[in-house]
Structure 1
């Protein structure tokens, strides 16, 4: 399979916010387009918890990426104009250093010995990469979901590092509902006997725990409106049902089973735990005087686009409004877009008409 990933070696040792050092760490990233001679046309994309750096197809890897319809020539993020970088977050298992990586000091997999991870660490790592590419100031920093929180940390920690910002379905701080869901996901993994305090292998993999965690996530990534519209109360045909007590009876159950089955072996459980907890820990107020509004008001960008979805229960519109107001207070020219997409939190992945319809004109005015 082709691999378009590039690798950047972070400063070694790389210092972590909550203590600890990582030696020989690297970030996986991909790029599209051409960096202008003035190095002033760069866009950095910071992702949610599980995506890789492969946001779209490119010459090295023609397979579709997770944001294929958004990124490319003549698409909302037009690579004929922009030089686009997408980073796989520090702590992930998609090429960047994380709990699934080898600790060079021991020769063994880090597992739970990986230092406590924060989204500030991910932001600092991404900033090191951008600086190494010779880019003093991004034209735009794009962050969605967890990546949106990382983007706020990036802008807060590195003043003047971007001219503009696109904030998508994210939060200035984790709220109780989102924390509760992620807590249950982590509990499902930890209670799987095969997790074994992080010491699993391919033969003893916490498949049941990861499956439940993924199902919980998928349920909250979409809205009740979409589930009703797609599945209603449609039952499986008799030949599709397993002959055992309490087996899946409805199509929605089968959908969740299939979705989880595709995910569980593609993502490292310990990495999932570390990134999930980092999301819960994030609070932009730590960058101010104990108030999120104060921290947001210190972010230095000229323009911002904040997009949210009315059916998003993980990152509700009220949090998008809080971000928009904070950036306005900071002096940015802010556009706030509230979409009625039925897809909930995942709308930014599938509602290209809605999100692309906001992103393309915003970038066109830069």
Structure 2
């Protein structure tokens, strides 16, 4: 049947009233159609409201053997999109904030590891406790990917912080003894310079003209803050998750300026599984039309909140553990008296949906892209460190022209490979520890041993959690074993089994006794 005959056939089959009132074949269901009864929702009210006036509304579904499923989850997202669309017409996206902070401003440009330059930058920070006379009791606390500097409540911001129970008199970070400093990382969006900040040259938001960052760049910016405070040496560098990576980077970059290192649920180099999960989050986020159509320059229009919501849901899956969710949710449905739906139905689905919705507009999408990429690039191996040092020497001249327009040679020239990746290894070869490059696992470890040699004389606490799937416990064992092979005789390695913690990667936020207790003992 050709197209014209098919259309004619459909016209003959359609009710006359429908043909008369709707020449575009938008079939009208019978009044008794039960297609929305599943959730007692109104007929496409949200969908119709969310569609721009210039586009036709979604077509109604004709009478069929079974009722059309309702999609309240999509209706909710579309309603929110419409509200955001109306808001964006009256002004730019509001700034991301976690409350009052202190701010350090540097007018001195900073050269980044991959050749980018920031002519000036700000670092938001908060402090607790009192810095002693010789400034020897300072602890630098590093955050996870999406955390702000608000680790504990302050007089200016009494809202509980993300490590509220861990900081304070008598706590793991005892403010009767220590002066605790926590920053929002360079590239973040809670007061520190990041993609949402304005470029001093263009006066516009950096957006995706912001340069690629590394963990080491973030640490360099933090030490500019310490320099301004007159702190020559830290009592300790403490961090969990991404902060655990930064804490180790402190020992590599500034071994003479730190007396102790604590790394919880971190790694010495990013591994494929973690990179893959963060890549998936970025791809979902960048597929949001609000991001794709602007290539990340969305600050005066609609933010990519749908992509951010989905990215956060993926992240949440990696933050918690199967055992905990088995106990909390099991296979329980939100309402077992109703038929199953394609929208969130099981309790675990409703939890993920809520987690994504709650967070999707609290953190800048571009900061998520840049900071998560910095995590992927993290590798303390000697080979990468040497290559980075050489690149920094070659790019040092850029600091002289930091306030002028960059040349066209700085434009990103990355291209996708002509041929997709092809699997060439047999399972037996993989199990034997070989790579298609011919480099054996023990040789890769030797590179890491050389790279972590600067930490040889620094007492280090390394903690892992057996239920962590994002930074599995073998990665913390790798840190401890590598440090010992590098000659460090003061390595304390603790691994919390599932009998002590079921909270997966988020254990560092929740387990005051296990994580907090070990930190307290280590710091003395």
| TM bucket, shorter chain | over 0.9
Distance in 2 between residues matched to 1:125 and 1:302, nearest whole Å: 22
Task: Report whether the alignment pairs 1:331 with 2:514.
Answer: no
Distance in 1 between residues matched to 2:386 and 2:455, nearest whole Å: 10
C-alpha deviation, 1:198, in angstroms = 0.2
Deviates more, 1:282-291 or 1:260-269: 282-291
C-alpha deviation, 1:299, in angstroms = 1.8
Distance in 1 between residues matched to 2:491 and 2:107, nearest whole Å: 35
C-alpha deviation, 1:206, in angstroms = 1.2
C-alpha deviation, 1:60, in angstroms = 2.1
C-alpha deviation, 1:247, in angstroms = 1.4
| Counterparts in 2 of 1:330 and 1:86: CA distance versus 1, 3 Å | farther
**Does the aligned pair in 2 maintain the 1:91–1:99 contact within 8 Å?**
yes
Identify the residue that residue 227 of structure 1 maps to in structure 2.
325
The match for 1:307 among 452, 456, 463 is 463
| Counterparts in 2 of 1:301 and 1:102: CA distance versus 1, 3 Å | farther
Distance in 2 between residues matched to 1:267 and 1:73, nearest whole Å: 31
C-alpha deviation, 1:332, in angstroms = 4.6
Distance in 2 between residues matched to 1:115 and 1:178, nearest whole Å: 22
Task: Report whether the alignment pairs 1:80 with 2:236.
Answer: no
| Counterparts in 2 of 1:13 and 1:288: CA distance versus 1, 3 Å | closer
**Does the aligned pair in 1 maintain the 2:196–2:299 contact within 8 Å?**
no
* Higher Rg of the two aligned structures: 2
Identify the residue that residue 346 of structure 2 maps to in structure 1.
250
Gaps in structure 2 of 5+ consecutive residues: 1-96, 388-443
After superposition, give the CA deviation of every residue in 1:252-303 in whole Å (9 maximum; x if it has no partner): 1111111111110000001100011111011111237971121112225431
Distance in 2 between residues matched to 1:202 and 1:253, nearest whole Å: 32
**Does the aligned pair in 2 maintain the 1:10–1:125 contact within 8 Å?**
no
After superposition, give the CA deviation of every residue in 1:73-118 in whole Å (9 maximum; x if it has no partner): 1211110110000011000001100001011111100000001111
Task: Report whether the alignment pairs 1:62 with 2:158.
Answer: yes
The match for 2:277 among 173, 177, 181 is 181
**Does the aligned pair in 2 maintain the 1:55–1:86 contact within 8 Å?**
yes
C-alpha deviation, 1:245, in angstroms = 5.4
Distance in 2 between residues matched to 1:191 and 1:304, nearest whole Å: 41
User: What TM-score, normalized to structure 1?
Assistant: 0.94
Gaps in structure 1 of 5+ consecutive residues: none
The match for 1:319 among 475, 494, 500 is 475
Distance in 2 between residues matched to 1:3 and 1:251, nearest whole Å: 32
Task: Report whether the alignment pairs 1:50 with 2:146.
Answer: yes
Deviates more, 1:68-77 or 1:325-334: 325-334
C-alpha deviation, 1:326, in angstroms = 2.8
Identify the residue that residue 170 of structure 1 maps to in structure 2.
266
C-alpha deviation, 1:152, in angstroms = 1.8
Identify the residue that residue 59 of structure 2 maps to in structure 1.
none
After superposition, give the CA deviation of every residue in 1:217-269 in whole Å (9 maximum; x if it has no partner): 10011111111111001111279x8x995111101111111111111000000
C-alpha deviation, 1:120, in angstroms = 1.1
Identify the residue that residue 247 of structure 2 maps to in structure 1.
151
- Give the 4+ runs in structure 1 shifted more than 6 A: none
Distance in 2 between residues matched to 1:349 and 1:330, nearest whole Å: 31
C-alpha deviation, 1:10, in angstroms = 2.8
SS in 2 for 1:45: strand
| Counterparts in 2 of 1:219 and 1:185: CA distance versus 1, 3 Å | same
| Counterparts in 2 of 1:228 and 1:288: CA distance versus 1, 3 Å | farther
Equivalences, count: 362
User: What TM-score, normalized to structure 2?
Assistant: 0.66
Higher strand residue share: 1
Deviates more, 1:221-230 or 1:293-302: 293-302
Identify the residue that residue 346 of structure 1 maps to in structure 2.
506
Distance in 2 between residues matched to 1:301 and 1:266, nearest whole Å: 41
**Does the aligned pair in 1 maintain the 2:125–2:181 contact within 8 Å?**
yes
